[in-house]
Chains A and B, each alone.
Chain A
């Protein structure tokens, strides 16, 4: 089905690029150009040093006009690099850009073969194939869809907060969705932040408060996304809002209800204090929680378990803000872009039983120690161990659940720095002997090495050696009642036994346990480690392979606060590029259903990995949403009636290309195609 604009004849312009030495040193470009000139329909056949350069592109445009060309083929590098460049040049020359076909003779030929003769032959075959194919190209228009200017940020940690504020300050309406009853994430749990030793809450709470008060931000806490439908610029997101059993507009966070709860003392695992303290079923996560609202935990509240509670909390509330009849609400919103900033979880120290966590009471994780040294923590900042003692010696073990093929392979990037910070804080609070046991000291950020210097000068012991075991087996009277660390001091070159009162495990960062479920919800991928996958590790760290969905912060990989904030800003900027351009152009390599040939068999419906196909029940035919379609070709192949075709990959195009490759010159002489010379 060829389409041309010149008396029905196809007039092809062929260009082969030298790419400097990259192509020309292996392929005889002159010979290829001369050969292609002999093919039917080829009007112009040139070779040029750098086709992607301005003169190169102009050459295409000039030739189109002068020779009334209606098809262009360029043989050069990978389409991923310059297909767009040459399509634009074609368009500037006055043709529909999809009358262009690219041939990769660099990555596919000159960069992988050494035999000049065979490589030139292969280039000729590929060029011929492209010329035959391009005959059948049709004029196509990329679809343009408008972008909804509203955005959604999932995750209310520091990254999510910063992304939301950036977008809101740019004048966009943002929905910030957070699973916990308050925003703040892990950062709200820290005591001080490295390297400045700023109080974490002091630098975070102003931002949290900005979020609460920002007219452009709709903050939904205690909420989770349950469904995402649609495509870039046009997402329909369903959010489940869990009931707090508190009327949000009435509660002022005075906490009288908590005081008067029939539980005299807390009895349940307090998540914010990592279990170091207990909370009541009615609680506020921490004093600066945002929003400043109380929440009733359905799982532990007696009223829900038995229905027979005195409900002293209701009595205590003088604003009548408690409502046990609340139910889960479902909200549906339309947004154009989504930023995922769902954060991380710490490595479960129970997976490394040789460090004694859970077995010996005075073994802590780093997160627990953050709460222990914090003035609003369970002990008011006083370092009192689980058995009531105060430590006179502390061991901090680096790389717990990191850099280890038996647990997590990667380095968690932040642990060395926070171990230094905890060493400083513990020394400050207890004046104990502090030992840091490390493999390498990783201090890659601004002022980080200087922070390490500071710690060295504070008389903290730094012993280079990975700890094999924390044990209560004592070999000397001086070790009785202590936890003993057995380690090889690799720098001095001797095995040491160090008895301590307290052990702190620098647990690594890993993806949240439901990362796979979340990524499926948003139609993105995870890397092998389980973190969300970025489009390119160097050049596109906040984009994903799904347009319109961005990632930021620790959910993409272990990182500290400065990097999380930077990524959040970057993700917001990426979202803004989409929003502010107003509309988005979609590559027209989509599949389409030839309605007359569709038998309504439904085979294609479930096969589409992007859920782009739906069934029109009245017509009983399949219908493909062009905006969702990614052009993977699965439905095209699966349709038993052959009713589905794909733009840029129609049957005639593909068969011509195959024919072009197989009709090789050397087929008669060598008895085989030149597809694989050496």
Chain B
């Protein structure tokens, strides 16, 4: 069974076209951003990204690779060469479920999952994602909750997510939500830590300490 197309129409950007027409595809060196590859490789464990032999083991073991527009192997090749636009606009980096299978199987021991995280951060920092794509929205909401309360409360997190991406989904999930609540698996009370100021100080200090370093 094929993935229902509404998902793709709603969330993708890039040069895909629904109707068949003749398209010209060529990449000029001037269009590539070679600093991009070095920038990603410069973060922790990223240097191994340069030793990729393009064997395809990562794509073969990734349980989600057949949903991705660019398989993990292609993302590594494209990142190295500086195909910045394509990489940051891809669905791949959001579809990565952080299962770490690729990292464990890679014959060059490249930390592919961490490269995906670096790309996610880059995409969010540069605003390269559709406004209503649930994953970055979730990440932002999560982070805000943690910054405020020190812990996250799943119920309110999901509410925020649905409100910002697709409010109708809340209706669809209402039954499940209710069942979970009745089973005591959904708490409505926001979970907080006591020394919230301590945490805020720490996080602000990290923010302040950022110079030209990679985050």
**Which A residues lie at the B interface, using CB under 8 A?**
354, 399, 403-406, 439-440, 464-469, 486-490, 493, 495
CB-CB under 8 A from A440, the residues of chain B are 53
Q: Mark B53-68, 1 if CB is under 8 A from A, else 0.
A: 1111111110001100
Which B residue sits closest to A464, measured CB to CB?
B56
Which A residue sits closest to B66, measured CB to CB?
A495
Distance in Å: Cβ of A492 to nearest Cβ of chain B? 11
Assembly CA distance A403 to B56 (angstroms):
13
B34 at the interface (CB under 8 A from A): no
Please tell me if the beta carbons of B109 and A488 are within 8 angstroms of each other in the complex: no
Assembly CA distance A493 to B70 (angstroms):
9
Which A residue sits closest to B63, measured CB to CB?
A486
Assembly CA distance A53 to B59 (angstroms):
60
CB-CB under 8 A from B108, the residues of chain A are 405
Which B residue sits closest to A497, measured CB to CB?
B66
| Total count of chain B residues near the partner, CB < 8 A | 19
Please tell me if the beta carbons of B60 and A439 are within 8 angstroms of each other in the complex: no
Assembly CA distance A186 to B19 (angstroms):
59
Which A residue sits closest to B72, measured CB to CB?
A488
B190 at the interface (CB under 8 A from A): no
CB-CB under 8 A from A405, the residues of chain B are 107-109
Q: Given A405-B107, A488-B73, A490-B73, do A465 and B53 touch, yes or no (CB 8 Å)?
A: no
Please tell me if the beta carbons of A404 and B107 are within 8 angstroms of each other in the complex: yes
Please tell me if the beta carbons of B74 and A468 are within 8 angstroms of each other in the complex: no
User: Of residues A465, A489, A495, which shows the largest number of chain B Cβ atoms within 10 Å of its Cβ?
Assistant: A495
16 contacts between A and B (CB under 8 A): A403-B53, A405-B107, A405-B108, A439-B55, A466-B55, A466-B57, A466-B60, A468-B57, A468-B58, A487-B56, A488-B56, A488-B73, A490-B56, A490-B73, A495-B60, A495-B66
Which A residue sits closest to B68, measured CB to CB?
A495
Contacts A465-B56, A487-B56 known; 9 new A-B pairs at CB < 8 A: A439-B55, A465-B59, A466-B60, A468-B60, A490-B73, A493-B74, A495-B59, A495-B60, A495-B65
Q: Given A439-B53, A466-B55, A490-B73, do A406 and B60 touch, yes or no (CB 8 Å)?
A: no
Q: Mark B26-61, 1 if CB is under 8 A from A, else 0.
A: 000000000000000000000000000111111111
CB-CB under 8 A from A488, the residues of chain B are 56, 59-60, 65, 71, 73
Please tell me if the beta carbons of A469 and B55 are within 8 angstroms of each other in the complex: no
Assembly CA distance A495 to B72 (angstroms):
11
Say which residue of A466, A469, A487, A495 sits within 8 Å of B107 (CB atoms): A466
Assembly CA distance A354 to B57 (angstroms):
12
CB-CB under 8 A from B71, the residues of chain A are 488, 493, 495
Assembly CA distance A464 to B56 (angstroms):
8
Which A residue sits closest to B109, measured CB to CB?
A405
Assembly CA distance A230 to B132 (angstroms):
80
CB-CB under 8 A from B65, the residues of chain A are 488, 495
Distance in Å: Cβ of B109 to nearest Cβ of chain A? 5
CB-CB under 8 A from A468, the residues of chain B are 57-58, 60-61, 101, 105
